[in-house]
Amino acid sequence: MLRHVAGLFSDNLNDGVDSIFQWVRMCHAFADGFDLTDAEKVYFLAECGMDIVIGTEWRNEYDLD
């Protein structure tokens, strides 16, 4: 299920700073709405394409130890 939803986000990224900003907010909102653990959020957001779009620094927000 998470992979499917993340794939939808990955396939619907548009061009432009405003679009990317909204896309990032929506991905985070879904990750929070699913009530995921930090590790699950990292998996979900990575599947959405965060690493490709904004780099990997966002991963520092999550406790993976």
- For the chain, the residue count is 65
Q: How many domains does the chain have?
A: 1
Q: Model's pTM, two decimal places? A: 0.79
Q: What is the largest CA-CA distance in the chain?
A: 35
Render pLDDT for 4-63 as a digit per residue (tens, 0 to 9): 788 777 766 666 778 888 889 989 999 999 989 999 999 999 999 999 989 999 999 998
Q: Which domain holds residue 49?
A: 2-61
CA 1 vs CA 4, 30, 55: distances in Å: 5, 12, 24
